[in-house]
Structure 1
Amino acid sequence: MPHEVPANCTIETCPHEAVINYLPVLSGNILYLIFFGILLLAHTFMGIRYRTWTFMVGVVLGIFGEMVGYAGRLMMRNDPFNFNTVLISLIPLTLAPALLSASIYLTLSRIITIRGAHHSRLRPPTYTVLFIACDLTALILQSAGGAMASGSESNPDQGKTGLNIMMAGLAFQVASLALFLGLWAEVDWRARRGADKRVESGDAADMFVGIRNTAAFRRFEIALAISTILIFIRSIYRVAELAGGFDSELANNEPLFMVLEGMLIILASGLLAIFHPGPAFGGCWLSAATARRPDSADTLELGGTTRVMV
């Protein structure tokens, strides 16, 4: 990584002095910044509208991190030799999807409660505790690695260690997402196999049968699964990218970066906006978390039907 760059250098005349070997494309990064800005407004509006506070916080923070990262990429166009601008892009874009994952993790216990806890090997709250703990671990590793990488200009060995720690955090995130998808698939399989069985008396699922049978809820489950898979693919790509270092062919392939990093996260957060949990849960986001019977005193009119609002 460069320390002092000769005067009048450009990416063409001094490519080996630059941190990366290309200038980020202007139009694509501006377009992504606009897309994420729209998604930020959409998720903020939907979160307030349907009071899905916990879901909203993770998604909004994740999208904001994406915006900071792409702003950093635009800064790299003006100064491709400044490692600090690279970090402004690298760290937020590395951390942001973990915040999106946190919001996704919060939904599984609610989905299980609505579909029937008797279909699950674990109690619904256990999934939340387990995967939020995994997500925090991944975030801590990635944040600590990013902090160490920020001092790499003065201490290259520290920078290399920092990148390795960030890579470990991403690898842990990949493992967590794989486990999440596996456990969710098992619950779905058990629920489908036992779909004809009567819900046990007193099971919280009998309170949410009206939600469970709606098209909005089924579409949300599909959208959530696709979003999780997209983040999973993106995380595998970032592990491979960091493993090769900044001078690797993979790290300098901008078209691949724009697709596997930016586009996948735009699609994931876009699906979560279009098929938002607010309408899908019929306003029962909190009730599904606590497995308490919805309060019929608070209702919300959606598409001509009255749904419980908590």
Structure 2
Amino acid sequence: MHEIISRSYKFWNYVPSLPAAVIFMLIFMILTGLHSWKLFTMRTWFCISFTLGGLFEILGYIGRCVSHGNTTGMGPYILANIFILLGPTLFAASIYMTLGRLIRRIGGEHLSVIRVSRLTKTFVWGDVLSFIVQGNSSSLSVLGYTTWAKVAVIAGLAIQLISFSIFWLTAIIFEKRINRSPTPESLLPGMPWKKSLNMLYAVSALIIIRSVFRIIEYVLGNDGYPLSHEWTLYIFDSAPMAIVMVIFFIWYPSDIKPTKDLEGSMPLATSYSEV
């Protein structure tokens, strides 16, 4: 009996809750559907990575659903962990691009602490690096290099945390400067730049909280409280990321039209820059 129980918990310290996984799978399906509708009706192609992040979340919770009845299966475990881990990285790419387009939209390039032609590239390439580092953790885990897999996840999350912290500081400095020296475009009636900035602050804060939780989770390891108690994932990761999708949808950056100058566009998404 002891041997059977040990084998049952080869990959999990608990049996993943099927109701919780199904609920969040459905939540992310609905939200991803809504974002897909916005993406195609508003033609905001720079938000495509955000929508893909929702798809990643769906795949992750499908993995948790399957793992409920198969706690010894490596495939469902990897599916659940890697896609839930990487979803917010794709959210981040669109969030970074939104700030660059916002600054251009209100003619505030001269007020940005980082040159706008480099701003989006800087943050998004940091995001790409975070994505690659975290993504490689699954292959390292499969090959048996669990320690290195853990290091890769922590390093990737740390990159994401640093990037968002700098991003947040950049946005705050820009807001202070634009308030002191408003541009003619920023004073136009109906220009939603303050609303968009507040939206960026909110979603960034939630992703930062989630990244801190994930770092703590992996530092403490399999014997730590977070990886031994499923509720922590849903409170500090699942729910915040669902709220991120809700906030981004309600205050969707559809009014931020890209200009002809595409230098600040993400190199991997230049083809999405035309509206």
Per the normalisation by structure 1, the TM-score is: 0.78
Equivalent in 78, 85, 88 of residue 97 of structure 1? 88
Where structure 1 has 5 or more consecutive residues not aligned to the other structure, the ranges are: 153-157, 200-205, 292-308
CA 160–261 in structure 1, closer or farther in 2 if over 3 Å, else same: same
Query: What amino acid does structure 2 have at the position aligned with 1:183?
Result: T
Q: What CA distance in whole angstroms lies between the structure 1 residues aligned with 2:173 and 2:205?
A: 16
Provide the aligned C-alpha RMSD in A.
2.3
Q: What CA distance in whole angstroms lies between the structure 2 residues aligned with 1:289 and 1:214?
A: 23
Q: What CA distance in whole angstroms lies between the structure 2 residues aligned with 1:94 and 1:36?
A: 14
TM-superposed CA distance for 1:21, in Å, is: 2.1
Greater shift, 105-114 or 117-126, is seen at 117-126
Matched, 1:238 2:238: no
Greater helix fraction, Structure 1 or Structure 2:
2
Where structure 2 has 5 or more consecutive residues not aligned to the other structure, the ranges are: 264-273
Q: What CA distance in whole angstroms lies between the structure 2 residues aligned with 1:190 and 1:218?
A: 13
Matched, 1:72 2:63: yes
- Indicate conservation of the 8 Å contact 1:177/1:232, yes or no: yes
Equivalent residues, number: 263
Q: Which residue of 2 aligns with 1:306?
A: none
Q: Which residue of 2 aligns with 1:35?
A: 27
CA 19–120 in structure 1, closer or farther in 2 if over 3 Å, else same: same
Q: Which residue of 2 aligns with 1:173?
A: 160
Q: Which residue of 2 aligns with 1:22?
A: 14
Q: What CA distance in whole angstroms lies between the structure 1 residues aligned with 2:185 and 2:9?
A: 63
- Structure having the higher Rg: 1
Matched, 1:117 2:104: no
Query: What amino acid does structure 1 have at the position aligned with 2:180?
Result: R
Percent of residue pairs identical: 24
Equivalent in 181, 189, 196 of residue 194 of structure 1? 181
Q: Which residue of 2 aligns with 1:58?
A: 49
Q: Which has the higher contact order (CA 8 A, sep 6+)?
A: 2
Alignment of 1:247-262 (within 5 A): 247-262=223-238
Residue aligned with 1:276, SS: coil
Q: Which residue of 1 aligns with 2:269?
A: none
TM-superposed CA distance for 1:23, in Å, is: 1.6
Question: Which string of whole-angstrom CA distances, capped at 9 and with x for unpartnered residues, describes residues 93-116 of structure 1?
Answer: 111110100010101111212332
CA 288–266 in structure 1, closer or farther in 2 if over 3 Å, else same: farther
Residue aligned with 2:149, SS: helix
Q: What CA distance in whole angstroms lies between the structure 2 residues aligned with 1:272 and 1:130?
A: 22
Alignment of 1:292-307 (within 5 A): none
Q: Which residue of 2 aligns with 1:143?
A: 135
Query: What amino acid does structure 2 have at the position aligned with 1:124?
Result: V
CA 41–17 in structure 1, closer or farther in 2 if over 3 Å, else same: closer
TM-superposed CA distance for 1:288, in Å, is: 7.6
Q: What CA distance in whole angstroms lies between the structure 2 residues aligned with 1:31 and 1:126?
A: 40
CA 182–192 in structure 1, closer or farther in 2 if over 3 Å, else same: same
CA 123–256 in structure 1, closer or farther in 2 if over 3 Å, else same: same
